[in-house]
Structure 1
Amino acid sequence: MTRILGSLLLVAAAGAVTTGAAPVPKGSPAATATPLGQVIPAPASAAPYGAPYRLDPGTRIGVDPTREGRRAGDQLAALLRPATGYRLPVTTHGAAGIRLRLAKGPYGAEGYRLDSGRWGVTITANEPAGLFHGVQTLRQLLPAAVERRTPQPGPWLVAGGTIKDAPRYAWRGAMLDVSRHFFGVDEVKRYVDRLALYKFNKLHLHLSDDQGWRIAIDSWPRLATYGGSTEVGGGPGGYYTKADYREIVRYAADRHLEVVPEIDMPSHTNAALASYAELNCDGVAPPLYTGTDVGFSSLCVAKDRTYDFVDDVVRELAALTPGRYLHIGGDEAHSTSHEDYVAFMDRVQPIVAKYGKTVVGWHQLTAAKPAPGALAQYWGLDGTSAAEKEQVAAAARNGTGLILSPADRLYLDMKYTKDTPLGLAWAGYVEVQRSYDWDPASYLPGAPASAVRGVEAPLWAETLSTPEQQEFMAFPRLPGAAELGWSPAATHDWDRYKVRLAAQAPRWDALGIGFYHSAQVPWPAA
């Protein structure tokens, strides 16, 4: 694979992929087609050959006569029409310059094949998710100006050749903290759009914490109306109605992301404790909290009423969530004894199973006994104690799957350098190379590679209150997390990756993403 990528760079330098293309203006930034292997995440294989395809006013998008085929075609047309100015009709019959096909083949649930030449572009996949991911690759093969919402001059070239692609891991997630600062439905959708471009397939929503409860629960209404009424720094907070949450789930699903809701417990629960005095062991509700300390709160493990509460919340949230997973938190329970923690998890995990969901928890869940099929999300550091790492590794050897989110690699809220105006630094400074340059399969000593289900990049929001701030901290690290989750290990090479990453900058500019200009990346001249 490294030989393929090296060849692609040589092809790009020589401009060979433009052989046979229609004439284009000299000096045009889009006069050469993007090499097939230049996309992020790196494809499993990319074989360039022949002339490029050129979109023109007569281009049609051919799809299968199915609802899934039509949806994929409509999504592609909606993406391409504003910048190209072309009609791009979506059709189920006749000749088409771009064809999206669902057909049985060696592509898996999310993989695809892309074939391109003078004659056109065909994307073939087993499942709609594969078609969607193939479309994202096509999107990156087109000039960055395709992201703009007004007509651009083009030309619109797609390099000739074949890509065969499928993900390395089934879990490629990003977490958005909407509890420390609340982000509305449209703001979450904006983040979903960024994730979709890079083939993420899980959106983990951190819906509750000490500073705010963000989802309406009919049986416990004050959780949202009172517990959701503030945020870090004392702002107005907010919460999602059930209709709001369903809309987020629908929007994410249309982009082939599964929403994984998190209700953090037994700690990180001050918003719930403040909303209902009966959840406290002493029956006294604490005040709402707008600071950033952690580990001081706990549900009352000994009270049966606590489990009534958990049952109601899980039941209502499970009914809203079509996906397989429900995250129960479980980290930083410093105010809960080990014995109480184990007892709590022994009672709560079966409740999740009762409502048809699979448990996900932060890696502290392994201090108890993870339920069969449960996933532990590891967020430790390189400096985490050997004993804690071995506890997680032992659970992995016993069948618990792992999602890797090491804080000093994938926490997108960590400062890049000491001069970063946003973010925190308790896990150290996390520059772009450090975020990318590691292998999930061998990261945790003693954990079998087969236990790793994938990676997830959390974005905590103690210091972030706007989408622009989110994007500054996420970019350019978010695409690297995507590549760690999708691309074969053999393609992971920092020196080659940073060149591909730099080539994304014009696309981010076109999308209005204000990103961090790391000195480690050879960004194109302005």
Structure 2
Amino acid sequence: MSSAPLEQSRTHPPVPRPRTGSPALDGVGSRLTEVIPAPVSVRPTPGVRYLLTAGTTIRTSDDPAALAVGEHLADLLRPATGHPLPVATLAADDTPPADTVTLLLEPATEPAPATEPDGGYRLDVTAEQVVIRAATATGLFYGVQTLRQLLPAEIESTTVAPGPWEVPGGQIVDAPRFAYRGAMLDVSRHFFEMPDVLRFVDQLARYKLNHLHLHLTDDQGWRIAIASWPRLAEIGGATEVDGGTGGYYTQADYRTIVEYAAARRITVVPEIDLPGHTNAALSAYGELAPDGVAPAPYTGTEVGFSSVAVASERTYDFVDDVLGELAALTPGPYLHIGGDEAFKLDATDYGTVMNRVQRIVAAKSKTVVGWHQLAPAEHVPGRVLQYWGTTTSDENVASAVRQGARVIMSPGNRTYLDMKYTDATTLGQDWAGLIDVRTAYDWDPGTYLDGVPAESVLGVEAPLWTETIRTVAEIEFMTYPRLVAVAELAWSPATTHDWDNFRLRLAAHSPRWTHANIHFHPSPEIPWPPTQ
């Protein structure tokens, strides 16, 4: 797969990087200041380098979770370096030998404040070794993602590259600002096979995102097999936008996605969209429709025209069965129940169905997540509202927060990855406005929405709806580089927020994407390095 950034590479050629003032021009040591998301603190040690060699070994604490992170690190580094990089554990009283990369489960000596207690790490680089310390294996994993950015861009190559594999000396102390840092992939409008989803997971992991929201059901397609209602996938999954053949995940496929994501410290958040966006389900089981008649499959892109039968107990049998099977397949705490654009229901009927659905989720020992239109429904302890509005004020959301709800920030005019970059972008939509990289970056999730204090913000998510997206290359083009901007907002302290600095650091990452065969939009806002 080529990393050529689709049609936009012809519309907007890369802008040469400035000759001065960019940290990307300052040699090996500059990589320490190019890390994305920006760490809590960075202390370079000028003139010091660690050289990864054919004799380098990886050592970890004597713990299975730490050992798994060590194996992950070796898997990342072996293809480009060609080095064996054996992985072994250390006894508690052992001293790591020279020429090692060591992953230690122990509290960092300079812990950083964090809302996610297990996310912090400390990374030290000397001439003799690299040591990553963290209280948990999750922290070690995030330290590994930083370490890969400290190596040359060629480390992302899938074939052996010449090196040298130098790491700049210094110390990084880091921890996330928000506990929830995610992206959503809509697999309902257009279906994406399991390997495509796994590739997307890898791209979330490299920038320390930790939640994958899968929009599994909509009017155009039902994408998860449910044993107790088999026609949902067999019939409801057989269509997509523009009349394609669609598809669905077997429960084994879904488990594979969940396990693959978990190994990369990513929690899958499955969404069953209710009570609207249900045409695919209704086409499979007409008994769920208000008139009891199965509608024709839908392959368009309109919204708001479908609804389940609110007064039918069969509807709640369906919801209970579907959410029960999905809860059993999903080890993470969240079930997303949609709740948006139910235009066929009045407020009373909407409240009736969503109140019952929320109680069903709670009965499965899961936490309710819903789009912010769910706010007026009854409060269920712990519930989470996902705000996708385009204004900075929503009294219904603020009221729900006063009752104890938390909020995931996904403002449509800031985080929606399906919005066009500019008028010239051939993919995507523009109903929420045009979203260039600066627009995606220049806002603060902790202060964005009136009546929602920072402590009520669970985190940030960037959704990608796929009405116009059909291929992996198109997913990546709309995702990169805007998802990287959102990742920094979700992870980094607000005090590090600086557009001028971010655009320079972002520019330095494009060679990494090229070596990793990731498509991206070469935004003219960013001083990209000249192509080779």
- TM-score band, normalised by the shorter chain? over 0.9
1:73 aligns to 2:78 (yes or no): no
Question: How many angstroms apart in 1 are the aligned matches of 2:487 and 2:220?
Answer: 29
Q: CA–CA distance in 1 between the matches of 2:493 and 2:320?
A: 41
Partner AA of 1:423 in structure 2 = G
* Pair 1:211-2:220 in alignment: yes
Query: How many angstroms apart in 2 are the aligned matches of 1:292 and 1:213?
Result: 15
Matched, 1:112 2:121: yes
**Counterpart selection for 1:327 from 308, 331, 336:** 336
Find the residue that maps to 2:338 and give its secondary structure: coil
**CA separation in 2, counterparts of 1:119 and 1:58?**
12
Long gaps (5+) in structure 1: 1-8, 16-30
Matched, 1:459 2:464: yes
Q: CA deviation at 1:280?
A: 1.1
Q: Distance in 2 between matches of 1:418 and 1:300?
A: 41
Structure 2 equivalent of residue 517 of structure 1: 522
Aligned-partner SS, 1:53: strand
Structure 2, unpaired ranges of 5+? 1-19, 91-95
User: After superposition, where does 1:158-307 map in structure 2 within 5 Å?
Assistant: 158-307=167-316
The answer on 1:87 being equivalent to 2:84 is: yes
User: How far is the alpha carbon of 1:14 from its aligned partner?
Assistant: 8.5
Q: Tell me if structure 2 keeps the 8 A contact 1:394–1:447.
A: no
Per-residue Cα deviation, 1:269-289 (whole angstroms, up to 9, x for no partner): 000011001101211110000
Note the alpha carbon deviations across 1:332-380, whole angstroms, 9 max, x for none.
0101111001111111111101111000000001021231100000000
Q: Is the 8 A contact 1:181 1:465 kept in 2?
A: yes
Q: 2-side partners of 1:429 and 1:370: how far apart? A: 34
Question: How far apart are 1:121 and its partner, in Å?
Answer: 0.5
CA–CA distance in structure 2, aligned partners of residues 300 and 267 of structure 1: 10
Residue pair 1:76, 1:135 contacting (<8 A) in 2 also: yes
What is the Cα deviation at residue 38 of structure 1?
Answer: 1.1
2:9 — aligned with what? none
1:13: Cα distance to partner? Answer: 7.5
Q: Secondary structure at the match of 2:297?
A: coil
The 1-side partners of 2:362 and 2:45 are apart by: 51
Tell me if structure 1 keeps the 8 A contact 2:212–2:267: yes
Quote the residue 1:489 is aligned against.
494
1:359 and 2:368 aligned: yes
What is the rounded CA distance, in whole Å, between the counterparts of 1:277 and 1:109 in structure 2?
47
Which whole-Å CA distance do the structure 2 matches of 1:214 and 1:12 have between them? 45
2:182/2:461 contact within 8 Å kept: yes
Deviations 1:116-173 (A, max 9, x none): 0111110011111111110000001111100001111111111111111000000001
Q: Corresponding residue for 1:49? A: 45
- Give the whole-Å Cα distance in 2 for the aligned partners of 1:14 and 1:438: 28
Q: Distance in 1 between matches of 2:265 and 2:67?
A: 15
Which amino acid counterpart does residue 439 of structure 1 have in structure 2?
D
Q: Deviations over 1:422-459 (max 9, x none)?
A: 00111111010001000011100122221111100000
Cα drift, residue 500 of structure 1: 0.4
SS of aligned partner of 1:224? helix
Compared CA separation, residues 151 and 334, structure 1 to 2 (3 A): same
Residue 58 of structure 1, aligned match among 55, 58, 70: 55
Instruction: Read off the aligned partner of 1:466 and give its amino acid letter.
Output: T
Change (3 A) 1:505 1:403: same
In the superposition, the TM-score normalised over structure 2's length comes to 0.92
CA RMSD of aligned residues (A): 1.4
Pairing 1:111-150 to 2, within 5 Å after superposition: 111-150=120-159
1:72-91: CA deviation from partner (whole Å, max 9, x where unpaired): 11111111111111111112
* Contact 1:440–1:452 (CA under 8 A) maintained in structure 2: yes
Seen in structure 2, the aligned counterparts of structure 1 residues 13 and 324 have a Cα distance that, compared at 3 Å, is closer
Alignment pair present for 1:443 and 2:448: yes
Equivalent residue, structure 2, for 1:27 = none
SS for the counterpart of 2:213 is strand
| Most deviating of 94-103 and 158-167 | 94-103
Alignment check: 8 A CA contact 2:184 2:213 kept:
yes
Aligned partner of 2:411 among 406, 410, 413: 406
Q: Aligned in 2, Cα 1:99/1:340: closer, same or farther, shift over 3 Å?
A: same
Q: Verify: 1:472 aligned to 2:469, yes or no.
A: no
Q: Which amino acid aligns with 2:80?
A: A
Question: Where has structure 1 moved over 6 Å in runs of 4 or more?
Answer: none
Between the two structures, name the one with larger relative contact order (CA 8 Å, sep ≥ 6).
2
1:263 CA displacement: 0.1
**SS where residue 273 of structure 2 aligns?**
coil
Contact in 2 for aligned 1:34/1:143 (Cα 8 Å):
no
Q: 1:82 to 1:222 in 2, by over 3 A?
A: same
Q: What amino acid is the match of 1:103?
A: E
- Does the CA contact (< 8 Å) of 1:179 and 1:209 recur in 2? yes
SS of 2:365's equivalent in the other structure is coil
1:368 aligns with 2:382: no
Instruction: Quote the Cα distance in structure 2 between the aligned partners of 1:48 and 1:33.
Output: 7
Alignment partners' CA distance in 2, 1:286 and 1:165: 53
SS at match of 1:101: strand
Distance across 2 between alignment mates of 1:346 and 1:62: 51
**Matched ranges for 1:339-358 at <5 A:** 339-358=348-367
Contact 1:397–1:448 (CA<8 Å) still a contact in 2?
no
Written as runs of structure 1 = structure 2, the 5 A alignment for 1:410-449 is 410-449=415-454
Is it true that 1:32 corresponds to 2:28 in the alignment? Answer: yes
CA contact (8 A) 1:44 1:164 kept: yes
Q: How many residues align?
A: 499
Q: Give the letter for the 1:73 counterpart.
A: G
* Correspondence for 1:3: none
The residue number in structure 2 matching 1:4 is none
Percent of aligned positions with the same letter in both sequences? 58
